[in-house]
Structure 1
Amino acid sequence: MLWIAALFGVFLLGIPISFSLGITTLVGLAGTGLPLEVIVQRMFTGMDNFAFVAIPLFILAGNLMAVGGISKRITSFSESLVGHWPGGLGMVAIVASMIFAAVTGSAIAATAAIGALLISEMIAKGYSRPYAAALVATSGSIGPIIPPSIPLVVYGVIVSGSIAKLFMGGVVPGILMGAFLMIANWLISKRRGYVGRAKKAEWSEVRQGLRDALLALFMPVIIVGGIVGGIFTPTESASIAVAYALLLGGLVYRELSWKKIAQAFTDAAVTTGIILTVLMTASLFIWFMTVKMIPQSITQSLLSVIDTQWGALMAMNVILLIAGTFIDTTSAITIFVPLFLPLVRTFGIDLVHFGVMVAVNLTIGMCTPPLGVCLFVSCEIAETSLGEMFKDLIVMLIPLLALLLIITYIPATVLWLPNLLGL
C-alpha cells in the first residue's frame, strides 16, 4: 500500500503519470539489490505484444475518418432520423456519437468531430453553451465502449482475454449509454423548450442520408464482423480500418488532402507515443507490484471488510470512478486491473463483465473534472468553461452512473451478446 500511496503522491506533484510510474518503481528497486537493467528489460517486455499494434492503427483510422468527411455524413443521416424530436440537435449529437463510436472507437475523436459540426448550430438554435458542451462531451464518452475499443484492447492484453468477446460485450452497454442520454436530453429539452426541426424528415431524405453514410456505416460491420467471424485478428482489422478510411475519404468522398493525411498521421503518432510510454512504465510498475506481492496484500485487506461479490463490485466501482477523475484511461487500466484481478478471481467475477465495467467507469472519467479530456475539447468548441457547465454536466452524468449500476449488477447486459454468438 505504501508504494501505491507514493505513486499518487508523485502524481499529485504535477508529474506526468508515465514518469510518476517510472520514478516510483526506480525508487522501489533501489533498495532491492536487483540490477537496474531490469527496468529496460521489463519496459521492452511490456510492449512486446503483437496486439498492441492495433492501438496506433485504430487511432490513425479514427483521425482519418474525422477529417475525411465521414462525420459530416453520419451527422446528416442522424438528423434525418431524430432531428424532429424534442431537443432534436441534442438527439442528433448522441446518435451521431454512437455511430461515430462504431467507426472510430475514440471518445476524443467523436467529441471533436461531432462538436465541431453541431455545437455552434445548437447554440444558434437556443441551447445554452454549457449544456451543448456537456451533452457533446458525455455523448463522446460512448466511443471507447462500442467496438472497436482501445481500452478493451489494452484490458484484453493485460488479462490475456478474448478481445472479440470483450468487443461484443461492449455493444449492449454502449447502446444503452446512448439511450439513457437521449432520455435525459428529451426531459431537459421539454423543460427548457429546446425544439427539434419543424417537421419530420421525408422518407426520401432519410434514404438519401443513408445512401451518403452507407459506406461509413459499413466499416464497423467489416471490422467487428471480421473479428467475431475469425476472419482476422483485432490487429489485422485495425490495418483494414486504416486502408478503408484512406479509400473512403480519399477516393470516394474526395475530402482527404495530403495535408489532412499528414496531420492525421502526426496526431496519431503523438497520441500513440503518449499511450505507449504509459504502457511501458505501467508494465514496469505492475512487475514491481507483483514482486512486492502488493495485489495480494490489497486483496487480503479488502477481504477483511468485504465478504460478498456485491460489496466487492461496489468497492471497485467507487475506486475506479475516483481514479478516473484524474488519471487517463490507459493508465488507470494498467494500474488498477492487475491490483483487482485477485479480488475478481476470488469472487468469481467474469473477466469480460469486469472489463466492460472498468471501461464504462473510466469513460465516465473522460467527461469528469479535473482530467476529463472530452470536457476540454467540448468547452473549447463551445467557448465556455468547466465552472459554467458544471451544473449541466452533473445532470448528464446521472444517466451514465445509472447505467454503470445496471451493468455492474446485471452481468447479462454485458454477457448476453457474446454468449449468444458463442464466443
Structure 2
Amino acid sequence: MLLLVGSFLVLMIIGVPVAISMAVASVLYLVLYGVAPDIIVAQRMIAGVESFPLLAVPFFILAGNLMNSAGVTGRIYAFAVALVGWMKGGLAQVNIIGSVVFSGMSGTALADAAGIGTIEIKAMKDHGYPIEAAVGVTAASATLGPIFPPSLPFVIYGMMANVSIGALFMAGIMPGVVMTVLMMLTVAIFAYVYKWGSDAPFEMKQLLEAGLEILVVFSIPVIIYIATLLGFSVNVSVGIALLILLAVDWYFDFSAVMALMTPVILIGGMTMGWFTPTEAAVAAVLWSLFLGLVRYRTMTLASLAKASFDTIETTASVLFIVTAASVFAWLLTVSQAAQLLSATILSITDNKWVFLILVNLLMLFVGCFLDTIAAITILVPILLPLVLKFDIDPVHFGLIMTLNLMIGLLHPPLGMVLFVLSRVAKLSVERTTMAILPWLVPLFIALIAITFIPAITLWLPTQLGLIK
C-alpha cells in the first residue's frame, strides 16, 4: 500500500497529471507485487466506465456548453441585475444569484467559474470593485454548481455508492439554499464594512419584471396540477403548461424564464417518472438546443461545433480520471487500505459525530490535492462501509463529501477553480488564494450545518418518497 500511495504522491508532486499518476502508480504496484495479471488494469479501467449512470456525464457537460453558446449566461446576468443589483454590494449579490440559476444547467463548479464567472468578474471590476473581491465571491458562488441539481459529482457518487441519483439531486436543494443565504449575508457584511454601494438604481418596474419571471416559473407546476384536477391526463396537462409558458415568454420576451425552467423540467420529469436522472441529462441537451436554435436563435453551426468539441475534450478528461481512479481504488481495497483505515478510525472513536468530523478533515485535505471525480471514485469504496456501520445515510454523506471537495477546489496546490479564476482575472495564484480565503467562512459554516443537521439534506427527498 505504501508503494501505491507513495509513488502516486511523488508523481503528483513533480507535476504529472492526476489520471496518469494513478495509472502509473497502479501498474507499478501490480508489476512489483504481482497481486494480479497486468491485463487487470485494462479490465478494471473498462469496468470503471461501463455504467449507465455515467452516460449522464457527457450530456450534462454538453448542456452547459450549449447554454453558453446560446448566450443564456448573458440573460441570466441581466435577470440577476434586475433582481438584486439595487442592493448594497449589488454586483456581488448578482454574482451569487447568477450562479444559483446557472447551477441548474451546468452541474459543475468549473463551468460556473469559466462561464458566467467571466462575465461577473469583468462587470464587478468595471464598477470599481477590488479585483480580489470579484474573484473571492465568484469562487465561493461557483461551489453552488454541483450542489443544486443537476450535479456531475452526484452522478459519480451515486454510481459508486449505489445510491439514487434522483434522491441526491433533491437532497442538494436545501443545502444549496442555505449556502446561498450565507453567501448573500457575507456580501452584506462586506458591503457594510467596505462601503460598497448599489450598482443599479432601484426600479420597481425591473424588480417586478424579475419577480414576474420567478412567478411564471413557479406557476408552471401549479398549472399542471390544476389541469390534472380538471380531468386532463398528466401528459396533456404538461403540454398545456408548456404552450402557456412559450406564449408568455414570447409575448413578454423575458430575460431568463427559459433558463430558470431547466431545473424545473429536469426535476419535474424525474418526479413524474418520465425519465431517469441519466436520461434527464439528454432532456437538458434537447432543451438547450431548443433555446439556442428556436427560441433565441443565437446558436450557429460554428458555436454548436465548438460546444461539441469542448464537451468531447472535457468528457475525455473526466472519464480518463474515472478509469484510472477505478484501478487505483481497487488496488487500495486489495491492499487492505480500507480495513486499515476502518480499524484506525474505530480505534479512535465509536461516535458517528466524531467520525464525521474526522472524515470532514480527511476530505478537506484530499480535496486540496485530488480532482473531485478522482477523490469520489477512490474514497467512496473505502469510506462507505464505515458510513453504513455508523448508521449514516449515504445520501447525507454524499452531500458532505461533495461540499468538502468543492471547498478543496478553491485551495492550492491543485484547486482547479483557483487556477481558472487566476487565469480569468489575470492574478497570480498567491493573490487569488488570499482573495478567496475570507469567502471560505460561509462555506465552512454551511459545511458544519449540513454535517450536523441531517434534516437540511434529507427532509426534501424524504417528503418526496425518494428515501425512507
The answer to whether structure 1 residue 7 and structure 2 residue 8 are counterparts is: yes
Whole-Å separation in 2 of the counterparts to 1:131 and 1:197: 15
Q: Once structures 1 and 2 are overlaid, which stretch shifts more, 276-285 or 195-204?
A: 195-204
Whole-Å separation in 2 of the counterparts to 1:301 and 1:8: 21
Q: CA deviation at 1:253?
A: 1.0
Match of 1:326 among 349, 369, 377: 369
1:85-234 to structure 2, matched below 5 A, reads 85-197=87-199, 199-204=201-206, 206-207=208-209, 210=213, 211-234=254-277
Closer, same or farther: CA 307–4 of 1 in aligned 2, 3 Å = farther
Closer, same or farther: CA 387–230 of 1 in aligned 2, 3 Å = same
The answer to whether the 8 A contact 1:126-1:194 is kept is no
Match of 1:337 among 380, 399, 402: 380
Structure 1 counterpart of 2:23: 22
The answer to whether the 8 A contact 2:82-2:206 is kept is no
Whole-Å separation in 2 of the counterparts to 1:265 and 1:206: 37
Q: CA deviation at 1:277?
A: 0.7
The answer to whether the 8 A contact 1:90-1:185 is kept is yes
Q: CA deviation at 1:352?
A: 0.2
Whole-Å separation in 1 of the counterparts to 2:274 and 2:162: 20
* Cα offsets for 1:252-282 (capped at 9, x unmatched): 1121111111111111111111111111111
Structure 2 counterpart of 1:307: 350
Q: CA deviation at 1:91?
A: 0.2
Whole-Å separation in 2 of the counterparts to 1:71 and 1:198: 19
The answer to whether the 8 A contact 2:83-2:207 is kept is no
State the one-letter code of the partner of 1:320.
Answer: M
- TM-score when scaled to structure 1? 0.96
State the one-letter code of the partner of 2:101.
Answer: I
- TM-score when scaled to structure 2? 0.87
State the one-letter code of the partner of 1:266.
Answer: F
Closer, same or farther: CA 33–367 of 1 in aligned 2, 3 Å = closer
Whole-Å separation in 2 of the counterparts to 1:33 and 1:418: 42
The answer to whether structure 1 residue 283 and structure 2 residue 283 are counterparts is: no
Structure 1 counterpart of 2:339: 296
Closer, same or farther: CA 297–33 of 1 in aligned 2, 3 Å = closer
* Cα offsets for 1:365-418 (capped at 9, x unmatched): 122222222222223332222322433311111110111011011111100111
Structure 2 counterpart of 1:417: 460
The answer to whether the 8 A contact 1:129-1:383 is kept is no
Q: CA RMSD in A?
A: 1.6
Percent identity of equivalent pairs: 38
Whole-Å separation in 2 of the counterparts to 1:83 and 1:182: 12
Moved segments of 4+, more than 6 Å = none
The number of equivalent residue pairs is: 423
Q: Once structures 1 and 2 are overlaid, which stretch shifts more, 107-116 or 306-315?
A: 107-116
The answer to whether the 8 A contact 2:266-2:283 is kept is yes
The answer to whether the 8 A contact 2:171-2:458 is kept is yes
Aligned to 2:256, what secondary structure does the other structure show?
A: helix
The answer to whether the 8 A contact 2:400-2:451 is kept is yes
The answer to whether structure 1 residue 239 and structure 2 residue 275 are counterparts is: no
The answer to whether the 8 A contact 2:83-2:206 is kept is no
Structure 1 counterpart of 2:423: 380
State the one-letter code of the partner of 1:370.
Answer: P
State the one-letter code of the partner of 1:334.
Answer: T
Q: CA deviation at 1:71?
A: 1.0
Q: Considering only CA atoms, is the larger Rg found in Structure 1 or Structure 2?
A: 2
Gaps of 5+ in 2: 214-253
Gaps of 5+ in 1: none
